[in-house]
Structure 1
């Protein structure tokens, strides 16, 4: 039932004036127009679809006898829309604060959901009552003020094309019509929330339950196409895909039923064969009666396992012959609903409805017969039917598909629309603008010409109705409100309940518009009270990413494990991500784990071992130095310049201790000192070895008669060699520190699970220059010692120096590949080992034999013993 409401304007001197009943029935081919009249100063016009379609019969043998051929079949539930308007007008007329000294009336016509009859009814609203003469007005009491239409957008558009000419306001309580190039100038006041709010609510609902594979069924008209064109890009952008898209054709007569059955069978096949467990329905007021046919279209095919998501303007309704049809398929459906507050007195008002006690209501008898399945006596036919209407039937006994005692959202919109017009008229009647157009009551007929001014007052209307809800329009003529999310609970005995499970608030912050109480939801019985899953492909688990199948929608994809070094910590990720430099992927590649801070510490076994070796060698070196200093006057100590020996031992002592700079967490000071200190100290040690070797050579050459090498004998040569060689190394280190010094750094990439704390050498070239210079000194020392190893001298150290240089080369030549092939703290350990090994090689090769003689064979440490050995 779709209602077109007409507001008429009639001026009475007092509010107490009784509104008279205008009886009017205009004949139309096949069926008269149903009407419901109440006169008043201000009259609202309403066009309703009380009729459904003209039918002969449904073709199911098990069903009750169908209506007679071409009998009008109605959906009784729409009758509440009419009662909502009548109740609102009754309240307005009884309220002394609204339109005092005036009465409010209405005039309702049935549209029969037919364009031709809708245009006819609209023209009747614009004519004198009982006279269908367009543009002819002779009634000074009943003047059209505004029109409320309609529940279906096409009805609203048909009405608007005529009302726009007369500048009469139209309030829509359903979805707004689709505008095209020919209708862009039409204006409406939409009492229902904008459809964009509902579209966003559907998307939020799908995303909340992660339903990405859905079926969509729309009406085969402009509104259905608008829905598809609007939501398809919106849903696709959010990852929701259409498993199927079907359109419901519009029908009016039983002759079209075969095509409807064929279309229904096709839709049924799509639904049963699809993996989509969620079906979004964008229908119109009567669409539900079509879906109630689906279970009967194919023998054993059962529509199970589907969650219906239904828009606000699609109500749970039935035709009379569908009274006993199984409603199980809609149990657990989720719909959006216009929120409303309980109106005091409304239930009591409708409980008193009775066909014999209501005058002027041309709808109630048809409603009564269709809803209760009875007929009224026909005095002409003088025939008694088996199921006669007794008028003692109770509306509260009707199933929810036929009638609801509580006000529905659409009825509440009509209620608000009537009050909006009343408040706008009240404001207009109180303004100076209206009084300038009415000087005397005898000029009342000119008052109709002023109702174009009502638009201004409707745009600015703002009030709280009797339920306490605020009513106002925004700049677009829309009444922006929230939407309730409703769960349909339907029993096999046709009992119907709505359970509020959430709310869609368009004014909430982003991401918080939809609130859902999942515990309050009753799912279809097929799912055994567990949340349904509606996806094309099972979710890709964390640790993998999805790849869309070629030629398939984006919701159909394959899952692939994340490659090495990447992770995904959510389901259905389009690509795997890299962890930050301080993290690394877990074994399952579903999370990032913080990297361990790795460095050669004093607490770990390797660090402790190297510290022990370093201190041990330092202690041995100090012990050797002490032995030599204690026996500093013995021939072995005095030979080959004992000052060089002391310098060499001190340098080796510092080399062993410098290894400690490489252990522990790198700091700025240790990074600056570790390589440069070792380089300089070890260069001093190698310089001492070189000086010792050259001293041996010079001493041998000086013993030859007439040799000029005697002048080079003494400490000056040795000191010059040590000083010059050490200064060069010190200069290289100074240049290194001045240009690109070492600094603390963290290597994030060499080892996946570790963050290596190290000293960045700054300039790798300068680092190898330091090592290369030490190698150069060692090569010179080796060459000189090798050639001097057989010189006849009891104190000749050249042999020992040669072995020490061979040990040095062995260590450092193996150091380079080992250093480059290791990572982290083990690379540092290799360098420490090289320092300790090369220093220990010098200490052992040069001083072990001397310490043996000094400590264990002191008898050999005599001058005469050495001279005898020399001879």
Structure 2
């Protein structure tokens, strides 16, 4: 009966509006609007209005033809009516038929409505869910056209915005098994938001049979029921926090008094009003033993139902605007100035000549504002401007529902401004949650990860994959990761790029400090041995070992130890050029001295043979010139290297991903290996000559020590090559320094330590007698240098 009460309210609103228009001197002056109201409870009654539009006026109902039809309240019946009258160009205006399907002008050519199409409601609902981050929702719908079409449109629009539907459950009034299935689906679902897209009658049944078993969910309602406060009495706290879009509130002055002043005597021929009266006041107009007798003077203000609810002004305003739309269309048709209609540009017509097709054409053009401030116009599809109030159910302790406006949707505004949530209203959430409920299939991927589609699940159910090495994502739900610039690297969370640390062998770190100490220790030993040789330069062992070459060798070894320091510290253009050239030249000078000493030993042995005078061919001058010549060759190689393609500082970002290695690039690899090759060639020559002289008959055969030192020297540098090539980063430099220090210590220890040991700790052995025990080359050298 509640549904009939509401329809009676719509009918009485139509009567009120027609009477208001008829009493207006501005709108349709001299013209009186009439109306016929049909009770369309079945298919036969439903088509009656269409037939009347075709056949004209009934006998006794006035001389006017039916110019337009108002109604129906439901989408399905409205579509059936328009299929019948559309081909005859009879306009139809509905106040509540919201199905988006009715916007199809091919099927429904003469259909208009003052209620927004569900297409707009669906867009508003999608924006609502997007605003609160609800991307994982469930839907309950019914078999009626309004519900089915609205659900299909919602799924389509939601997909565009990345919102997924976990389930769609069809509610049927008479299927008990279906009730249990719906409850089980909703209860066990992971989505927290449930869209109930049904008409009022279906929603009433749904809440009675299913609703109380659905707890802890955020219900979203369609406009057909979201403002029906009486539903709270049937559903308990299930509707607490429910949200939805409703037709905007709009007060119509004088309408409430008109509705509440209704008496059966106002329409004595209406059986519907008599039944309504008997039902509301629990009485009967016919004498009966079961109920009291109706007087007809009862006051409607004493009862509460859908008809007497004066707070509900949303839907009746659509009826009000629909009647005014027809009136304005007729008003425009009947204008006449100087024989022409200023609206149509055609000849004036009489009010008795108006045809439905002309009204239809004018309805497409109407654009006016009603007395209560509502703008009325229709687009090409017959739809009115989409405006909604966003409402929130706030149920009190007594079970009464306070439906609060918390936002608005206005389809006439630009994109980005259509949906608005009011800041000064408290929102109550479903399930009595204190905060906005979360309804997502997968929590958003945090920065440092990317979304990856899971083909076995809906698009809202994705995987969050950690960004690969060297890549970041700095936004939530990033679809891709981005590589950092070459000199940057992701931080620990992989959500931002930070500059890579620059690495080089420095004096401050332990390895650099140790190598520096060893280098300084080598310098100290070289200087110490030089002092020992200087102090004992007149002793036989110093004189017999070519003191000039010995001092030059000690000097070159000192330079070798010092040049290792150039490899430590931040590389610069000068240090890169200095370190390799200094190393190459000092080592050649060192090996040249050793080579000179080796040749002298061999010459001295040859000189002890009868009739030999070879020593005159390799005297002090020749020794100096040989050292100078060998060294100048290396100098020439270094000059060419520095001139053509010198070493330079280089940021190596390929060897390690997470740091930059600052090193000295070789420039010309040929130059580098030419320097090393030349050193190796001299060392090999020196080793061969010393090896040949290792068994010469001496008490103190220096060739043995030179052979051993050169063996170590060659071993160090042979192992250096693979170690140098394979060592990463600063360890490459450390390997090179180690090779320099090891080979320098080998020469220093093998050649000079035995002599210094005898000079300092065994002075008795440092005598001519000991050195000349045998006729040896050592004795000859002693005599030669004397």
What TM bracket, shorter-length normalisation?
0.7 to 0.9
In structure 2, the residue corresponding to 1:74 is in which secondary structure?
helix
Find the counterpart in structure 1 of residue 391 from structure 2: 486
Farther-moved stretch of structure 1 (849-858 vs 344-353): 849-858
Cα distance, 1:268 vs structure 2? 3.6
Find the counterpart in structure 2 of residue 778 from structure 1: 683
CA offsets 1:362-396 (integer angstroms, 9 cap, x no match): 698379549x743454147697438988632327x
Find the counterpart in structure 2 of residue 123 from structure 1: 51
Q: Is the 8 A contact 1:488 1:496 kept in 2?
A: yes
CA offsets 1:649-701 (integer angstroms, 9 cap, x no match): 55544544443444344455545654455345444443443344345435554
List aligned pairs for 1:146-545, cutoff 5 A: 146-173=68-95, 174-178=97-101, 183-184=106-107, 186=109, 188-189=111-112, 191-221=114-144, 224-232=147-155, 235=158, 240-249=163-172, 259-261=174-176, 263-295=178-210, 302-317=213-228, 325-340=234-249, 342-343=250-251, 345=253, 349=257, 352-355=260-263, 365=273, 369=277, 373-375=280-282, 377-379=284-286, 384-385=291-292, 391-394=298-301, 398=304, 404-418=309-323, 434=341, 444-446=352-354, 450-455=358-363, 457-458=365-366, 461=367, 471-473=376-378, 477-481=382-386, 483-491=388-396, 495-504=400-409, 515=421, 520-525=426-431, 527=432, 529=434, 531-534=436-439
Q: Is the 8 A contact 2:473 2:482 kept in 1?
A: yes
CA offsets 1:306-338 (integer angstroms, 9 cap, x no match): 32212223445499xx89634432232221224
The 2-side partners of 1:718 and 1:407 are apart by 114
Change in 2 beyond 3 A, CA 1:170/1:672 = farther
Q: Is residue 663 of structure 1 aligned with residue 568 of structure 2?
A: yes
Change in 2 beyond 3 A, CA 1:422/1:121 = closer
Find the counterpart in structure 2 of residue 44 from structure 1: none
In structure 2, the residue corresponding to 1:309 is in which secondary structure?
strand
Change in 2 beyond 3 A, CA 1:781/1:663 = same
In structure 1, the residue corresponding to 2:583 is in which secondary structure?
helix
TM-score by length of structure 1 reads 0.70
In structure 2, the residue corresponding to 1:745 is in which secondary structure?
strand
The 1-side partners of 2:264 and 2:601 are apart by 142
Change in 2 beyond 3 A, CA 1:327/1:209 = same
Find the counterpart in structure 2 of residue 717 from structure 1: 626
The 2-side partners of 1:848 and 1:734 are apart by 40
Cα distance, 1:865 vs structure 2? 9.1
Find the counterpart in structure 2 of residue 40 from structure 1: none
Q: Is the 8 A contact 2:448 2:474 kept in 1?
A: yes
Larger radius of gyration: 2
Change in 2 beyond 3 A, CA 1:538/1:686 = same
Q: Is residue 139 of structure 1 aligned with residue 63 of structure 2?
A: yes
Change in 2 beyond 3 A, CA 1:474/1:628 = farther
CA offsets 1:629-665 (integer angstroms, 9 cap, x no match): 8999998888777776666555544544443444344
CA offsets 1:502-557 (integer angstroms, 9 cap, x no match): 455665656995758698332344x5545545566788888999998896656678
Q: Is the 8 A contact 2:588 2:630 kept in 1?
A: no
Q: Is the 8 A contact 1:318 1:402 kept in 2?
A: no
The 1-side partners of 2:408 and 2:701 are apart by 101
Q: Is the 8 A contact 2:451 2:465 kept in 1?
A: yes
In structure 1, the residue corresponding to 2:245 is in which secondary structure?
strand
Structure 2 gap segments, 5+ residues each: 781-786
Find the counterpart in structure 1 of residue 5 from structure 2: 76
Q: Is the 8 A contact 2:100 2:149 kept in 1?
A: no
CA offsets 1:380-419 (integer angstroms, 9 cap, x no match): 7697438988632327x636x7764335544444445555
In structure 2, the residue corresponding to 1:497 is in which secondary structure?
strand
Find the counterpart in structure 1 of residue 783 from structure 2: none
Change in 2 beyond 3 A, CA 1:305/1:688 = same
Q: Is the 8 A contact 2:171 2:206 kept in 1?
A: no
Structure 1 gap segments, 5+ residues each: 1-71, 250-256
The 1-side partners of 2:114 and 2:582 are apart by 86
In structure 2, the residue corresponding to 1:457 is in which secondary structure?
coil
Cα distance, 1:454 vs structure 2? 0.8
Change in 2 beyond 3 A, CA 1:513/1:856 = farther
For the aligned residue pairs, the C-alpha RMSD in angstroms reads 5.3
The 1-side partners of 2:686 and 2:699 are apart by 20
Q: Is the 8 A contact 1:549 1:557 kept in 2?
A: yes
The 2-side partners of 1:508 and 1:534 are apart by 28
The 1-side partners of 2:577 and 2:374 are apart by 76
Cα distance, 1:267 vs structure 2? 3.1
In structure 2, the residue corresponding to 1:99 is in which secondary structure?
coil
Farther-moved stretch of structure 1 (577-586 vs 742-751): 577-586
CA offsets 1:456-503 (integer angstroms, 9 cap, x no match): 523xx3x55556565555565544545443222345756332223445
CA offsets 1:757-816 (integer angstroms, 9 cap, x no match): 445557778766655554444333323233234446899754443343344345445545
The 2-side partners of 1:385 and 1:855 are apart by 143
Change in 2 beyond 3 A, CA 1:283/1:295 = closer
CA offsets 1:150-209 (integer angstroms, 9 cap, x no match): 543223322332443243444454424427999447265454445444434434444555
Q: Which of residues 588, 591, 609 in structure 2 aligns to 1:686?
A: 591
Change in 2 beyond 3 A, CA 1:451/1:467 = closer
In structure 1, the residue corresponding to 2:215 is in which secondary structure?
coil
In structure 2, the residue corresponding to 1:329 is in which secondary structure?
coil
The 1-side partners of 2:754 and 2:418 are apart by 87
The 1-side partners of 2:530 and 2:6 are apart by 113
Find the counterpart in structure 1 of residue 784 from structure 2: none
List aligned pairs for 1:749-788, cutoff 5 A: 750=656, 754-759=659-664, 771=676, 773-788=678-693
Q: Is the 8 A contact 2:141 2:196 kept in 1?
A: yes
The 2-side partners of 1:558 and 1:749 are apart by 32
In structure 2, the residue corresponding to 1:398 is in which secondary structure?
coil
Q: Is residue 607 of structure 1 aligned with residue 512 of structure 2?
A: yes
The 1-side partners of 2:163 and 2:732 are apart by 53
CA offsets 1:211-266 (integer angstroms, 9 cap, x no match): 454332223255545445444465457665444322245xxxxxxx6x35554454
In structure 1, the residue corresponding to 2:747 is in which secondary structure?
helix
Cα distance, 1:120 vs structure 2? 1.6
Q: Is the 8 A contact 2:544 2:779 kept in 1?
A: no
Change in 2 beyond 3 A, CA 1:346/1:630 = farther
Find the counterpart in structure 2 of residue 835 from structure 1: 740
Change in 2 beyond 3 A, CA 1:802/1:584 = farther
Q: Is the 8 A contact 2:91 2:357 kept in 1?
A: no
Q: Is the 8 A contact 2:285 2:295 kept in 1?
A: no
Change in 2 beyond 3 A, CA 1:499/1:766 = farther
